């Protein structure tokens, strides 16, 4: 039996799936294995997902395997569909729950998730059991609108709540003035009934949907209270309640829209079209029609249309929209570029390496949108509290209506106070307190080049007490650089020129570092000859008619090395550096030292972290203790754990968690993934450049720059502080208003005014995070 394998682009076999974790990939695998293929699985290569098919070459030809894959992909894609819909008309977080519950009970809908904060519905459905129009009709039957992508709902749709609220206010004023003027009660009652209808339109709709879903929510409390006021003849107060409640919601939605638009602005960064070279001509195509290998022409000032690499041209590119870097980055042929970034003054030819839906920007936008559906611990707590609290309030109000009259208290007064308590106890501000802060915090982080994948991670970043760092590629550049050139005979430049002439023939990283340093100093040299590499020791060669030897101490007779050279070598090695001894015709010229050097500004980053409240910073490295300690001392780390294998890093994280409580792990997202998974928060460096980093981490610093870490931690602490403030305001208002209304110190009008005022206050407070700067600390 001859085993072969074939790799195919997954998006071509299964178009429109969100990613390789989708259930449709499992369905495709089952179909293909049922056809007789030995193994089918997904791998990542060159930044894209690929379907790897293993088969018996004696049973199947390559073309037959392709046909099977295409046919199975078509069957799955034609049956199972994914949608991301924009929902209009949700007034509160409960609306999202109502839609979710209704669709989950619909035959053919497989998965559904609704985010009130992002106004987004994501679902998967079986096309053989239900069609998209039927799902849209079901949503509309619930009283909500589905907005098609790329189509705005229009001015009226965007402001309809405010319009209805304004109409309710005008009618309330007209009814109240008619009463003051002594008009017949029937005449004054007309405008008040209109105020009820306009102010209560959306509230009644949502309350009815909740009751159909066997749930009691805030809207239910308000409708009951307004109906109770009407039953007592207090039409003005009932109309005032519904007017202020609808006005509060309208203002809240306007404020939340600002946070949503901050996220939607990310999606607008990519241009809609690109100029590409095809068949010898330049043509304009839609971004969605770009293919891998296309060459796009990007003129000065234009946005780069797709992820790719520079094929021709030199320019500085502003990468701040994706990575948050404040300074433009110079690009030359071979360098990576990202969709949505802005070209500088040069013309660039970009070879496209990722399709539009696979670009870093597209995935970043998608992950930020998904983050809204992942509830933080505080939000889960408030949701549980609300589910218990609202029914308790309704029962309490019923008892307040029934019991006092049995004790001789006037029924009308008892009933009125019960209605006022319903208003006072409505936890509107509590329901929106956390989602609004999470939405604003994640939007601000994304704008600053930090991708936070959910409210839980946003909150957890703010409670960290320690952070563990991978060394290579995180604290350091991950490549050796010349740190010292010590000449004991002749000049430093002469010593370096000889070393570069010999090492320029080698591809070893240490050799390339020597050549790079010589070029940086502007040195030039002729070519060395008769090069002999001695494994593990060094190299011998001829240069300018002289015999050259370059290597470590083992290349030479230890007794022949001068004392001065030995002392310099010992000093440099004690600092964790690798050394090269250079000898010409038996005479030692000096020592070149190399090391993986710390990234620029790491010391300042660690100092800022300590100022934000991080008590311990720890290095986890596979290097030896001496090398690790040298870097740690240079940058100011508190602790070093050296000589660690990947599994040792996992154990180290467990031990650090026991000692310090909440500990983050930051690395490159590849070999550090197991340790990052053990951390309270896993943080990946360079999310814009590595797909693995985006997939594995809870938080990704989009630029390959540690300077964003203190910003992320400080923003999280600010978010937690605002969430606590919002909870204090929302719970405090309820705690004050319940006794005030219960004992008759405040009526329905005062209760609803304070109640709605607190809701607007917590949303506006949360929106402060959109303008957060680290200097705010």
Active-site residues: which are they?
470
DSSP 131: -
- Number of Cβ within 10 Å of residue 368's Cβ equals 25
For residues 652 and 622, the answer to whether their CB atoms sit within 8 Å is no
Q: How far apart are CA 730 and CA 738, in angstroms?
A: 12
For residues 178 and 191, the answer to whether their CB atoms sit within 8 Å is yes
**Which residues, 6+ apart, have CB-to-CB distance to 417 below 8 Å?**
400, 741, 742, 744
Q: How far apart are CA 51 and CA 58, in angstroms?
A: 21
With H, G, I as helix, E, B as strand and everything else as coil, classify residue 601. Answer: coil
51 forms bridges with which residues in the sheet? 8, 42
Which residue spans within 657-762 are E strands per DSSP? Answer: 663-667, 681-685, 699-701
Which residue spans within 69-194 are E strands per DSSP? Answer: 80-88, 109-115, 120-126, 145-147
Select from 440, 444, 437 the least CA-distant residue to 729: 437
With b meaning 16 or more CB within 10 Å and e meaning fewer, what string describes 126-165?
Answer: eeeebeeeebeebbeebbbebbeeeeeeeeeeebbbbebb
Q: How far apart are CA 535 and CA 299, in angstroms?
A: 49
Give the long-range contacts of residues 680-685, CB within 8 A, separation 24 or more: 680/460, 680/463, 680/464, 681/457, 681/460, 681/461, 681/464, 683/709, 683/712, 685/473, 685/474
Q: How far apart are CA 135 and CA 131, in angstroms?
A: 7
CA-to-CA separations, 327 to 302, 321, 713, 776, in angstroms, rounded: 17, 11, 22, 22
Q: How far apart are CA 265 and CA 444, in angstroms?
A: 12
Q: In what order do the strands lie in the sheet with 109-115?
A: 109-115, 120-126, 80-88, 145-147
CA-to-CA separations, 159 to 252, 533, 593, 732, in angstroms, rounded: 12, 76, 68, 31
What is the token pair recorded at 721? 């502080």
44 forms bridges with which residues in the sheet? 49
Select from 176, 180, 221 the least CA-distant residue to 194: 176
- Number of Cβ within 10 Å of residue 78's Cβ equals 10
For residues 471 and 621, the answer to whether their CB atoms sit within 8 Å is yes
Q: How far apart are CA 436 and CA 308, in angstroms?
A: 36
Select from 652, 658, 676 the least CA-distant residue to 666: 676
Place of tokens 């502003």: 318
Angle at the Cα of 340 from the Cα atoms of 339 and 343, rounded to 5 degrees: 95
> Residue 567: what are its φ and ψ, rounded to 5°?
-65, -45
Would the CA dihedral through 192, 198, 200, 204 be positive or negative? positive
Select from 21, 23, 56 the least CA-distant residue to 37: 56
Which residue spans within 279-415 are E strands per DSSP? Answer: 281-286, 295-298, 308-312, 315-318, 329-331, 336-337, 342-343, 348-352
Q: How far apart are CA 488 and CA 471, in angstroms?
A: 33
Q: How far apart are CA 143 and CA 246, in angstroms?
A: 16
């Amino acid at each position: 039996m001859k085993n072969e394998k074939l790799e195919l682009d997954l998006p071509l076999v299964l178009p429109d799936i969100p990613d390789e974790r989708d259930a449709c990939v499992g369905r495709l695998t089952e179909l293909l294995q049922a056809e007789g293929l030995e193994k089918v699985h997904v791998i990542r290569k060159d930044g894209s997902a690929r379907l790897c098919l293993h088969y018996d070459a004696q049973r199947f030809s390559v073309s037959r395997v392709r046909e099977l894959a295409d046919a199975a992909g078509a069957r799955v894609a034609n049956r199972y569909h994914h949608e991301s819909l924009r929902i209009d008309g949700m007034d509160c977080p409960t609306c999202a729950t109502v839609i979710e519950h209704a669709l989950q009970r619909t035959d053919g809908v497989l998965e559904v998730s609704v985010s009130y904060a992002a106004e987004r519905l994501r679902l998967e459905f079986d096309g053989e059991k239900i069609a998209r129009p039927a799902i849209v009709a079901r949503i509309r039957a619930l009283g909500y609108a589905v907005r098609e992508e790329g189509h705005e709902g229009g001015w009226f749709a965007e402001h309809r709540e405010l319009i209805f609220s304004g109409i309710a206010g005008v009618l309330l004023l007209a009814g109240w003035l008619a009463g003051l003027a002594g008009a017949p009660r029937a005449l004054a009652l007309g405008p008040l009934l209109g105020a009820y209808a306009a102010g209560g339109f959306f509230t009644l709709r949502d309350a009815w949907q909740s009751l159909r879903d066997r749930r009691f929510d805030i809207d239910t409390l308000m409708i009951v209270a307004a109906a109770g006021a009407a039953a007592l003849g207090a039409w003005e107060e009932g109309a005032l309640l519904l007017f202020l409640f609808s006005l509060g919601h309208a203002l809240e939605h306007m404020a939340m829209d600002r946070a949503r638009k901050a996220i939607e602005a990310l999606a607008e960064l990519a241009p809609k079209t690109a100029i590409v070279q095809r068949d010898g001509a330049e043509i304009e195509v839609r971004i969605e029609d770009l293919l891998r290998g296309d060459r796009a022409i990007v003129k000065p000032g234009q946005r780069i249309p797709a992820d790719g690499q520079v094929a021709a041209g030199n320019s500085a590119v502003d990468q701040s929209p994706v990575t948050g870097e404040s300074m433009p980055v110079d690009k030359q042929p071979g360098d990576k570029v990202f969709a949505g970034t802005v070209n500088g003054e040069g013309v660039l030819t970009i070879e496209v390496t990722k399709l539009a839906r696979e670009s870093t920007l597209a995935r970043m936008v998608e992950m930020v949108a998904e983050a809204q559906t992942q509830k933080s611990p505080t939000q889960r707590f408030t949701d549980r509290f609300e589910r218990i609290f609202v029914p308790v309030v309704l029962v309490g109000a019923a008892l307040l209506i029934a019991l006092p009259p049995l004790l001789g208290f006037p029924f009308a007064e008892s009933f009125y106070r019960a209605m006022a308590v319903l208003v006072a106890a409505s936890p509107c501000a509590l329901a929106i307190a956390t989602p609004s802060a999470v939405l604003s915090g994640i939007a601000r982080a994304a704008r600053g080049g930090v991708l936070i994948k959910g409210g839980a991670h946003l909150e957890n970043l703010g409670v960290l007490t320690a952070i563990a760092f991978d060394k290579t590629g995180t604290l350091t550049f991950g490549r050796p650089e010349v740190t010292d050139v010590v000449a004991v005979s002749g000049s430093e430049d002469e010593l370096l020129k000889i070393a570069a002439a010999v090492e320029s023939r080698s591809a070893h990283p240490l050799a390339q570092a020597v050549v790079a340093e010589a070029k940086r100093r502007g040195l030039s040299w002729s070519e060395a000859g008769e090069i002999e590499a001695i494994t593990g020791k060094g190299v011998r060669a001829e240069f300018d008619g002289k015999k050259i030897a370059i290597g470590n101490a083992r290349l030479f007779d230890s007794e022949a090395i001068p004392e001065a050279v030995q002392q310099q070598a010992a000093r440099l090695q004690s600092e964790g550096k690798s050394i090269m001894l250079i000898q010409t015709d038996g005479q030692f010229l000096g020592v070149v030292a190399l090391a993986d050097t710390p990234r620029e500004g790491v010391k300042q980053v660690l100092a800022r972290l300590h100022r934000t409240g991080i008590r311990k910073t720890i290095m986890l490295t596979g290097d030896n203790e001496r090398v690790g300690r040298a870097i740690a001392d240079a940058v100011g780390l508190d602790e070093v754990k050296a000589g660690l294998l990947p599994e040792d890093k996992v154990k180290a994280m467990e031990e650090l968690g026991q000692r310090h409580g909440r500990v983050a792990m930051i690395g490159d997202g590849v070999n550090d993934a197991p340790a990052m998974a053990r951390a309270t928060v896993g943080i990946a460096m360079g999310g814009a450049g590595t797909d693995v980093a985006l997939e594995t981490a809870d938080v990704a610093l989009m630029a390959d720059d540690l300077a964003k870490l203190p910003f992320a931690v400080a923003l999280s602490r600010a978010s937690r502080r605002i969430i606590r403030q919002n909870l204090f305001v929302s719970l405090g208002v309820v705690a004050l208003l319940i006794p005030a209304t219960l004992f008759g110190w405040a009526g329905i009008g005062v209760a609803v005014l304070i109640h709605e005022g607190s809701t607007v206050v917590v949303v506006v407070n949360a929106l402060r995070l959109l303008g957060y700067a680290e200097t705010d600390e």
